[in-house]
Chain A
């Protein structure tokens, strides 16, 4: 009977394991179908995080365990399994009777112990299980463009919109942009953020780019205006300071009046009240600029410096938001320097008939550096070197410069009137007064590579 008992236990064990496995697979199948549907719905609605949905797959593990435990608990009692074993092995009820009776003497009547064959036609179950796995996989791996509905997935443009709003706000605060227009742009930005769609982002991006470009153009325009105004104010400041110092040095009234008149012209030429960046000179000063008294020069100087400071601050703010390039900021800073007002003051005292405006520009020169002029070079037919000759010219000896006399400052070459001026020759010939020295060198074809190297060298 021991062997029959073993065969019976083996059958019970196989039956339990098979049914537990079957139950687990069925529950997992159901879970995968349900979770696949949930994933699909969540992705279509854009409600859940992808990783969270992926974690949901792990829900199949406890479900499989629960299913297996449930099958184990509800698995067949020993009596039906014993009855099945009896029936399948043609034991004639002896195995069933052995549960409660002693079969002494009847063991020989029992057939040879054989464990019945347990057959699980798992094809369909496994097929449906595979289908459920495929379904949940497809639901998870479906491309975003197929799952996102129109308008349901907004673009991630929050940071960009915030930056643009800050730019608009700055432009508004600096009075570069009108408040009404700034309000409109803010509303437009808000609308773009709320109604942007990941399905067709081009419109949103185009609108944002347009606003960005408008801001930058406006800022660049303001920066250029600031550079010009700063430069003019600096010259006026230099002249004002020089006038102040010249007065202390005993400048004559007539000259002082002329300087004041020219200073008034320079302040007016700055046109502070016009353009994007409006500055202001106190009206009482403006009204009496031409007849400026010595004590009012201090006030004018303060007003000029205040306006310069305001312009500089504005440009700095614009540069912080990267609305203008750093070059514009450095130009503006450079334009605000007046390195030698004492020299100008001395000049005023010594040259009562000179142009004070030009003198002020001279003493303030070198402030604005617009850099080199990058321009595309085009080369046409090469010229022939054959027969080309330098024009021979005998240069005067440099020691004669010691006898040179300073006759004035001008932006252009000095005009010659009859008498030969020695100063017009030599190393400074052809040099513009305000633009630095330069030699008019004839560029020949053989200089081509040298010129190219000059313009292509690194900064």
Chain B
């Protein structure tokens, strides 16, 4: 983070680049502008995203399109119960060299790519799921004592089906925490469906008319690092994450009632990064409270461990986060209860 905020002429090209990418995404995939915005935010934040939605809603198409627009290598793994870690990470196989000797040669798995689509990730066994932990956090693979770096940038875009849960292995909290966002794939509305049917022959996606250069993506990452995060905003993020923990001074009544475990420090980092990306897309050199609010829900909704009481009361993580956002004072001013500040 730099103390000197970006000049308009420095930020404007980056904002235009992101705008173009979003425009392409919105043109190719219809009806999910907000989701596309969040996905781009996740990419700019170098975070992994967990998609949750029913089959056939376009998860794979979204990931493939992103790879196409960003000119990034894309691979897909369909997770099944018998999938082994080696199937993902790669394995050593015995091969005969030209000299006639035999040696173990590393055969990289599909994880060695820029964008990895882990489809129905919750169907793989915990052992296989755990194979992704290092790759997601360290962006590297260690096999037989040898660590291999993954190509940069590296994103895991995983999906899971909220139905047909029989025979699935819910992701452990440690792994869920490594995802920047959990995004819900909802059914598109009728007008969008009509547009898809009438404009897309057999649902085939149109080709991207513009693609981002690798250097341009790198410049975006560089600009991201120069988005100014004011201290009041960082304090707000800290209080927001702290308020998800029952027993803390910031915790709301609902948190105390429904939450067993709150979000980790990784969540605070994720919110700060995502808020920066949100400000970049908005064309601002500084992060505001509205940026934090925009990204807080997808960042936190898979990081809260709710108790049984929440299930009984049909309380979800998203509702809880919205409630916290509504109650928490942005500026941290401990105003008396009978004194209020309102927009003019």
Chain A neighbourhood of B285, CB < 8 A: 94, 97, 106
Interface assignment of A275: CB less than 8 Å from any CB of chain B: no
How far apart are A69's CB and chain B's nearest CB, in angstroms? 18
Q: Are A87 and B228 in contact (CB under 8 A)?
A: no
By size class, the interface of chain A is: 35 or more
How near does chain A come to B334, taking the closest CB pair, in angstroms? 9
Residues A92 and B232 in contact, CB atoms below 8 Å apart: no
A444 at the interface (CB under 8 A from B): no
| Any B CB within 8 A of the CB of A100 | yes
Q: Which of A379-435 contact B (CB under 8 A)?
A: none
Q: Please, what's the 1-or-0 string for B303-344, where 1 marks a CB less than 8 Å from any CB in chain A? A: 000000000000000000000000000111100101111111
Determine, out of A78-86, A194-202, A350-358, A365-373, the stretch whose residues face the partner at the interface.
A78-86
Report the minimum CB–CB distance from B101 to chain A (whole Å).
Answer: 62
User: Contact at B333–A84, with CB atoms within 8 Å?
Assistant: yes
B157 to chain A, nearest CB (A): 29
- Which chain A residue lies CB-closest to B287? A93
Q: Total interface residues on B, using CB and 8 Å?
A: 35
- Whether the Cβ atoms of A117 and B343 lie closer than 8 Å is yes
A115: B residues at CB distance < 8 A = 344
Q: Which stretch, A40-48, A118-126, A135-143, A204-212, touches the partner chain B? A: A118-126
**Could you tell me if A92 and B290 are in contact, using CB atoms closer than 8 angstroms?**
yes
**Is residue B249 within 8 Å, beta carbon to beta carbon, of the partner chain?**
no
Also in contact, A118 and B341, with CB within 8 A (given A93-B230, A106-B5) = yes
Q: CB of B279 within 8 A of chain A?
A: yes
A90 touches B290 (CB 8 A): yes
CB distance from A232 to the nearest CB of B (A): 96
Contacts of A11 in B (CB 8 A): 341
Does A76 belong to the interface (CB within 8 Å)?
yes
* CB neighbours of A124 from chain B (8 A): 338
Residue A105 interfacial (CB < 8 Å): yes
Q: Is B7 among interface residues, defined by CB-CB distance under 8 A?
A: yes
Known: A83-B330, A105-B7. A120 touches B233 (CB 8 A): no
Q: Helix, strand, loop or mixed for chain B's interface?
A: loop
**Is A84 a contact partner of B331 (Cβ separation < 8 A)?**
yes
Q: Point out which of A90, A101, A120 has the most chain B C-beta atoms below 10 A from its C-beta.
A: A101
The answer to whether residues A79 and B289 also contact, given A88-B343, A119-B342 and a CB cut-off of 8 A, is no
**Contact at B232–A79, with CB atoms within 8 Å?**
yes
Q: Tell me the complex Cα distance, A15–B8, Å.
A: 34
Chain A residues contacting B290 (CB-CB under 8 Å) are 87, 90, 92
Residue of A nearest to B339 (CB): A120
Determine the chain A residues whose CB is within 8 A of the CB of B233 once the complex forms. Answer: 83, 93, 96
Q: Which of B4, B7, B286, B344 contacts A96 (CB 8 A)?
A: B286
A-B residue pairs in contact (CB < 8 Å), sample of 26 = A11-B341, A15-B341, A22-B336, A81-B333, A83-B289, A84-B331, A86-B232, A86-B289, A88-B341, A91-B288, A92-B279, A92-B284, A92-B286, A93-B229, A93-B279, A94-B288, A97-B5, A97-B286, A100-B3, A101-B228, A109-B283, A114-B343, A116-B341, A116-B342, A119-B339, A124-B338
Interface residues of A (CB under 8 A from B): 11, 15, 18-19, 22, 76, 79-84, 86-94, 96-97, 99-101, 103-106, 109, 114-122, 124-125
